[in-house]
Amino acid sequence: MLVEEIMSEPLVTINSNDRIEEALELLNKHKIRHIPVVSENEQVVGILSDRDIRDAAPSILEENQNRQILQHEVSSIMTTPVITVHPLDFIEDIATIFYEHEIACVPVTKNNQLVGIVTEKDLLYRLIQLTGIHEQSSQIEVKVPNKVGVLPNVTKIISDRNTNISSVFIYPYQDSYHEKIIVLRIQTMNPMPLIDELKQHGYEVIWPNIPGLSK
């Protein structure tokens, strides 16, 4: 999935020489947490968050306390330089950037022009959709050897029972190169017959582990 499919647009932006008070008003008015700071030609020069304002003026909500900070220019507290991404980047790359740089949003640029923004919330919502958890379904986790042909074999068992698969995820079993966990979300509320059949074919179902079913 590409960044352009999940990014937010149009955008609320602010200039670096605008006052912090204006930025705070925009944050509150639009119920957002981040504002890209742009130049006159819409190039990203910084990013401003509600946290930046709180850190600069920890008593901002107290009457007559630290009010002078609000008259300073946005450039005095904005974060710069800014990590940006392209609309055709993959959302997996965004997740890696969020994790490695411990940030909560990235502006999206094309030809050095701001075209969108992606936040942690945008990414998390789309990942939830990708798992299929928003649909009526059941989750099965199967431990399998890491070799060619295993995944189609498992999915064939499911398709032979006329059961639709909402999503498939695969990850290493306890960091092992030799075994994998296949996580399947299937469109049935009664996975018991399917779990039994997977076990009869020699697969180890580790979730749900139903006592009494075939091993």
Q: Residue holding tokens 């940006």?
A: 84
* Confidence check: pLDDT of 29 > 80: yes
Do 18 and 118 lie in one domain? The reply is yes
Do 110 and 139 lie in one domain? The reply is no
For residues 50-58, give the mean pLDDT.
Answer: 79
Residue 59 is predicted with a pLDDT of 55
Residue 69: C-alpha distances to residues 56, 131, 152, 173 (Å)? 8, 44, 61, 52
Do 118 and 165 lie in one domain? The reply is no
Residue 116 is predicted with a pLDDT of 95
In a domain, 40, yes or no: yes
Q: What is the CATH number of the domain that holds 106?
A: 3.10.580.10
Residue 184 is predicted with a pLDDT of 94
Range with the lowest mean pLDDT among 64-78, 114-128, 155-169, 173-187?
A: 64-78
Residue 60 is predicted with a pLDDT of 46
Q: Please, which pLDDT band fits residue 66 given cuts at 50, 70 and 90? A: low
For residues 4-19, give the mean pLDDT.
Answer: 92
Domain boundary among 84, 107, 127: 127
Domains identified in the chain, total number: 2
Q: What is the CATH number of the domain that holds 147?
A: 3.30.70.260
Domain boundary among 127, 150, 177: 127
Do 10 and 108 lie in one domain? The reply is yes
In a domain, 111, yes or no: yes
* Confidence check: pLDDT of 132 > 90: no
Range with the lowest mean pLDDT among 67-71, 146-150, 161-165?
A: 67-71
* Confidence check: pLDDT of 64 > 70: no
In a domain, 215, yes or no: no
Do 105 and 41 lie in one domain? The reply is yes
Do 145 and 117 lie in one domain? The reply is no
Do 56 and 148 lie in one domain? The reply is no
Is 200 or 53 the better-scoring residue by pLDDT?
Answer: 200
pTM, full prediction: 0.76
Domain boundary among 127, 158, 173: 127
In a domain, 31, yes or no: yes
Q: What is the span of the domain harbouring residue 155?
A: 134-207
Do 101 and 146 lie in one domain? The reply is no
In a domain, 163, yes or no: yes
In a domain, 214, yes or no: no
